[in-house]
Structure 1
């Protein structure tokens, strides 16, 4: 033990000598170290210039930044070495270690984290924007680690406080209490009108720091609380879409908001709500969703007109129609999210359990053929009335037939787009994939209706389908809209379809192998795909471009002729049937 104590004392003395070689301990030398930050008072998004002077030649220092917010304290640090002239300029010199490394002009700000004595895994949130963020900069002797900066902290060589504001002093804040509407309005200086933005924080209460900063940059901003603020609902499941729509329309109609439209920015659940409001309020022209879900993962958003489009469409239909005495529509009740999920599950299972008519799934005459699962989900009448009013898009939002923006798949496009996103997200297909056409049987009135006598349904909507060869997993689909709305480009239609499906699926340049029939396959397509590191196998129609050796080949049964051009191989073969 005495030997160990002696070693510690020697090491301590050596470390003291090394520090003394860089910094003298006299008051005169310590006071010569100065730190400057320009500007010393600014908005939080403005860059600053940090410089330390009066240092020994090539002297090691640590620059630490600290902020106190409530009971939490955040800090950051960077280790630097002075130049020959005895100064450190952060925007020009590299930090060798710290909460950041390298040349980072604003590293001491963005790399802050809670100090060891505080609660961890929390982020800095400014609660009171009427006061600045006070950032204390300290210059410390030598290079320090994170643990050595606290308890007790090293004595600083120089210190400086810097003020960072979210709100410009000329920005005006007004508390909003208009009927059901609650929040805070931030108005920039000037006559206006200004570009308008609604800011929604995804948590409880009112968070207005980002709104204040945007207003300081010339936007008029409405910080819109969602719940747990004044007399608003105390929990998120009680939030109503009606309140959000009313607040958005009120803000968009203010005289000092530019009439062309407004933007929205939302965090977490607020991001989800901004996407929903984009559907319901035409004045919303742009949305920024920060970490917001694109679907309602836990609870549906309450809405007086129903949670989903079926309810709105059903009510409009019932109100504008003369119903018979025994019409099922007279017993209509709104469809909720859970019930709609069950409805879609039944529809999908009907594709697996085939029966001639829909009522047969509820037929109890033959016990061996009962579909008990269907009966537990719905009564026959309830299923059929939901099917009758099944609707995805509000008809008022679909462009008129004479509009240049009209597309015949407008009523189903959101469903198709969602299917393609989900199919690509949850599964990556194997190397071998196929492209083909499929006919979804229907005799509905639509310009997309096709008649293909070789198909079982004969009449229906034609889909271009990209699927995995081994499992049949459908990875991407595209509706054929007809000649008027799906004009053929300078490429052959088959070539255009294959390239488009592969681009939409993000499968090009990944070594996939496409298998297709003669409608799609061509030498031109093979060359284009080969250039994109994608391969193809298929049959060629006689009227398509092909090598004359293949086209004019006279071969006997079971004979084969090969022609190769680079990496493209063409084969002619005659089997027993003469094909």
Structure 2
């Protein structure tokens, strides 16, 4: 097919001359953002102490609260990040004085009680502004909305992904009570808060994301056809800022559909993905056709290619990028007679952006019982912002430290 030319300008959109590594972190979490967290944490602490004054026991940790400030919040976040590198069985064990468990940096930076108190009071928005749960405009993500809006803006403002991008879902581990908690057995976390992410295939840079809040989630991106379902609207919302630039989008069977791919092609965004065999519009003759292992069958309708390939099981593909060509593949390091369609090879090569993010962030999974859901999600986004900052740093500093 005649593919649209890629006209995007990938890479960092900020002048990073004379940047130190920490300045890349500040691109996503600057002092203005952190000062807002400091302010809201102090506001919540004041509200909490006022509302619970009669119930607090004299020995309660909360009675020792003093307002926090910017440098202390930075130390708090630094220790929280460090916990991903130094794994211990509980939060308290990071302040252990046992010769077998001691890690000097933690007590030297902040006392245990102060850290736990900051974690208890950590807040991102004024609770006094919350709408009642039965209000039609009630936002399930109200507790973390400023953080979400900040990162959605910064991720797209700082860096532009290359030609190949992918959309997939990620799961933030959370096993507590939450009305929109999801169960995905294929994910490492299995239980948690589901995020839909658009990432750069080659690096894993997360350009955009959207938090799923249940079946009644409202999503209606501008320019989206009224006939789209939720999965198609998610792709449209995540990718719409990259339309008309010739990007190649890779998605899995949850999103792939004939109507979506046609509409994406109309805005100069070509796509490829696995598809469920019973999806509306997918040719029934490809589903019913019996193939020997290694064989493929394809049909084309204008820009759309529908293809079935028989491997260990039948694989169904839809693409506006590829033709029916095949390429030899290596088996156990040797190029064998096995040939696979180009659309499958490219899908396997470019679909792993979000999985790469999950793999890199897995060590930073927050200790479970010490975090309510919005704090857990916020810390996950802080880690995600740090990973994005590292990717931008590597893009702007391509030379290795090992210079001779």
Band the TM-score falls in, shorter-chain normalisation: 0.5 to 0.7
Gaps of 5+ in 2: 1-28, 221-225, 316-404
Any residues of structure 2 matched to 1:290-329 within 5 Å, and which? 308-321=39-52, 322-329=55-62
Secondary structure of residue in 1 paired with 2:160: coil
> Partner residue of 1:272?
none
Given candidates 508, 511, 515, the residue that maps to 2:250 is 515
Q: Within 5 A, what are the aligned runs for 1:31-46?
A: none
Q: How many Å apart are 1:416 and its aligned residue?
A: 0.6
Task: Tell whether 2:80 aligns with 1:347.
Answer: yes
Post-superposition offset of 1:372: 4.9
Q: Secondary structure at the match of 1:319?
A: helix
C-alpha separation in 2, matches of 1:540 and 1:370: 52
| Cα offsets for 1:328-355 (capped at 9, x unmatched) | 2122111112222333344344445554
Alignment partner of 1:330: what SS?
helix
Q: Say which structure, 1 or 2, has more relative contact order (CA 8 Å, 6+ apart).
A: 2
User: Could you tell me which residue of structure 2 aligns to residue 561 of structure 1?
Assistant: 297
| Residue of 460, 471, 482 corresponding to 2:214 | 482
User: Aligned to 2:267, which of 532, 536, 558?
Assistant: 532
Q: Which moved more, 1:491-500 or 1:440-449?
A: 440-449
Cα distance change on mapping 1:480 and 1:327 into 2, 3 Å: same
- Give the structure 2 partner of residue 497 of structure 1: 234
Q: Which residue of 110, 133, 144 maps to 1:412?
A: 144
> Higher strand proportion, which one?
1
For 1:509 and 1:349, the matched residues in 2 are separated by 41
Structure 1's 300 and 449: CA in aligned 2 closer, same or farther, altered over 3 A?
A: closer
| Equivalent residues, number | 279
| Aligned partners of 2:219 and 2:234 also within 8 Å | no
- In the other structure, the counterpart of 1:331 is 64
| C-alpha contact 1:328 1:385 (8 A) present in aligned 2 | yes
- So what's the TM-score if we normalise by structure 2? 0.62
Report 1:349-364 matches (<5 A): 349-351=82-84, 353-363=86-96
User: Given the superposition, is the C-alpha separation of residues 298 and 402 from structure 1 closer, same or farther in structure 2, using an over 3 Å criterion?
Assistant: closer
> How far apart are residue 478 of structure 1 and its match?
1.0
2:163 to 431, 438, 450: 431
* Distance in 1 separating the partners of 2:104 and 2:203: 28
Residue 249 of structure 1 is matched in structure 2 by none
Q: Which has the larger radius of gyration?
A: 1
2:297 match: secondary structure: strand
CA distance in 2, matches of 1:353, 1:538: 38
Q: 1:422 to 1:350 in 2, by over 3 A?
A: farther
| Unpaired stretches in structure 1, ≥5 consecutive residues | 1-293
The structure 2 residue matched to 1:463, chosen from 190, 195, 201, is 195
SS in 2 for 1:544: coil
Who is 2:397 aligned against? Answer: none
